[in-house]
Structure formats: C-alpha cells, structure tokens
Amino acid sequence: MNTPDHARLLVHGATGRMGRAVLRLAADTPGLSVVGAVSGSRPPQRVVDGVPQFSASEIGGVPAFDVAIDFSLPEGFDRVLGLCVARGAALVSGTTGLSEGQQQAIDEAAGKVPVLVAANFSLGTAVLSQLVERAARALHGWDCDIVETHHVHKKDAPSGTALVLGESAARGGAQARYASLRAGDVVGEHTVQFTGLGERLELVHRATDRDVFARGALHAARRIAGRPPGRLRLADLLG
Ligand SMILES: NC(=O)C1=CN([C@@H]2O[C@H](COP(=O)(O)OP(=O)(O)OC[C@H]3O[C@@H](n4cnc5c(N)ncnc54)[C@H](OP(=O)(O)O)[C@@H]3O)[C@@H](O)[C@H]2O)C=CC1
Ligand SMILES: O=C(O)C1=N[C@H](C(=O)O)C[C@H](O)C1
C-alpha cells in the first residue's frame, strides 16, 4: 500500500450520478489520485479524461490501487468487494439495497481489508440518526413513521438511509413503519415523524446536492487507506 497521505483511488460505478460527482470532486482532492474507473456496461461510457476505464467484466485488469469508492448497484457489489480483498485494498461503499448475504460477505472481507459501507455520507443524516434514537426513547408509545422521497430512477426501497434511521428508532424502543415516494429529480429527503395523541414531532433531512455524499466518501477514502483490516463506521473516520 502507498503511504496514507497519498492513495491511489479506483472509482466503481463511475458513470452513475454518484460516480460522476466523485470523479469531478476527486480531481481537486489532495492526497488522492484516480487511477481507474469501472462501470457496468461494455464498452464503458467515457466519463473522465486521462484515466483508464473498464467495464464490470474487465475489472480484473484495473491497475494497482489503495482504495476503491463504490456507488453502484447490489449486482456489482460482490465483484468490487472481491477485487479489494484480492488486491489488499480498502473499500468505501455507498451502495444500498445490499442483501443479508452481502452484509455477511462484508464482515468476512473486513477480516482482510478495511471496509466502510454507509447508506448515507452526509453529516446531517448522521446527526438525524442520533436525534431519532433520542426522540424514540423520550416518546415511548408514540407511532414512528419514516417517509423517504427520492428521484424516479432510484431502484431500492425503502432507502438505505431510511433503514438505518429505523435501526436508530429501534435502539430507542420504537418500531418504525416506512413509506417511499419516487418523484422527479429529488436528491434525497428523509422525514421521521413521531405521532402522539394531539401532537406530532417531525425530524427532516433534505439533501439538495449529491456533492455532499461524494465529499463524504472522498473524505472517508483518504482516511481509510492504509488502515488495518476491519469494518469501520463513518464516525470512525470523521475529523
Ligand atoms: N451512501 C450514500 O451517501 C449514497 C448512496 N447512493 C447509492 O449509490 C448507488 C448508486 O446510485 P446512483 O449513482 O444514483 O446510481 P446510477 O444508476 O446513476 O449509477 C450506477 C452505476 O453503477 C454501475 N453499475 C451498474 N451495474 C453494475 C455492475 N454489475 N458492476 C459494476 N458497475 C455497475 C453503472 O454503470 P452503467 O451505467 O455502465 O450500467 C453506473 O456507473 C445506489 O445504490 C444508491 O442508493 C446514492 C447516493 C448517496
Ligand atoms: O439513491 C440515492 O439517490 C440515494 N440513496 C441513499 C439511500 O438509499 O439512502 C442515500 C441518499 O438518500 C441518496
């Protein structure tokens, strides 16, 4: 592995909404250089100059790298996880909709390389998660509902973030119900509402720009490269 102050980055899911944002912002991120970009289709659509691009079936041919950022789909995830293990590289993934089996594979991979899989890379939802747990604990017996709204192209539902917020509510003793809306080009909105008799508390997060997620993932990639194996949380890499 290179020294942690300069890491070679592979972008997986490079042609997608998130992959493009990561590539654009990576160009101005000190301590990281993009050495390869992978996407699903063959031949890969050209999205970046001066960086070799690969389709999913060509992934074995990517050059040496220290850390991969993955925003793809569950069907592409196993390959990038396996590649990171084979190359001894770290993985930062924001892909949502992963199966139970894929979660177990992440735990196994984390015995060999550092891995961070996070459903949401924004600071605001990290704080929202803490607030939801606190509210659930304080509002015992109230109904808890999580409503998430995303763009019409989003495939998984409920969103990964909604499920994480549901886990926070459960830690506070509330069993959340979920509702999903797919509308226009909404980047990502999550409302957690606690309803009692004659009153309702709403906690809302609205992402208006995907760069928020891309910046969070790039920050994590800089921090995770060169670490010992293990499954990390976003909070482990903040600061
Ligand atoms: N954690 C977070 O903060 C966030 C997470 N997300 C999640 O990130 C993921 C991607 O979102 P988004 O960018 O909007 O999705 P897009 O559909 O825009 O992009 C998906 C990307 O994955 C590629 N891909 C598809 N299938 C495969 C495969 N089998 N192997 C390798 N690459 C593949 C696509 O390539 P091609 O075009 O060639 O098919 C494309 O580059 C989703 O799971 C979403 O929920 C999104 C935003 C924030
Ligand atoms: O697909 C998206 O766009 C997003 N997905 C993530 C999720 O499933 O929670 C995060 C964000 O809300 C955008």
Q: Could you give the ipTM of this predicted complex?
A: 0.99
Which of 117, 123, 148, 159 to mutate for ligand 2's pocket (most ligand atoms within 8 Å of CB)? 159
Dihedral angle at the C-alpha atoms of 99, 104, 108, 111, nearest 10 degrees? 100
How confident is the model over 155-172, as a mean pLDDT?
Answer: 98
| Cα–Cα dist 36/15, whole Å | 12
Average pLDDT over the chain, rounded to whole?
Answer: 96
Active-site residues, by number, are 150, 154
Ligand nearest to the CA of 15: 1
Residue 54: partners with Cβ closer than 8 Å, 6 or more residues away? 36, 37, 38, 39, 44, 61, 62
Which of 18, 148, 213 to mutate for ligand 2's pocket (most ligand atoms within 8 Å of CB)? 213
- Say whether the peptide bond before residue 52 is cis (omega within 30 degrees of 0): no
Residue 89: partners with Cβ closer than 8 Å, 6 or more residues away? 1, 10, 65, 66, 67, 68, 83, 113
User: Which residue positions form the known binding site?
Assistant: 13-18, 42, 94-96, 118-121, 151, 160-161
- Whether the per-residue pLDDT at 139 is higher than 90: the answer is yes
| Cα–Cα dist 227/101, whole Å | 25
> How confident is the model over 116-136, as pLDDT tens digits?
999 999 999 999 999 999 999
CATH-assigned architecture of domain 7-117+212-237: 3-Layer(aba) Sandwich (3.40)
* H-only helix segments in the chain: 17-26, 74-87, 100-109, 123-138, 160-171, 211-224
> How confident is the model over 184-203, as pLDDT tens digits?
999 999 999 999 999 999 99
User: What are the structural domain ranges in the chain?
Assistant: 7-117+212-237, 123-208
How confident is the model over 30-59, as a mean pLDDT?
Answer: 93
CATH class of 123-208: alpha beta
> How confident is the model over 47-95, as pLDDT tens digits?
999 999 999 999 999 999 999 999 999 999 999 999 999 999 999 999 9
User: What pLDDT does residue 38 have?
Assistant: 97
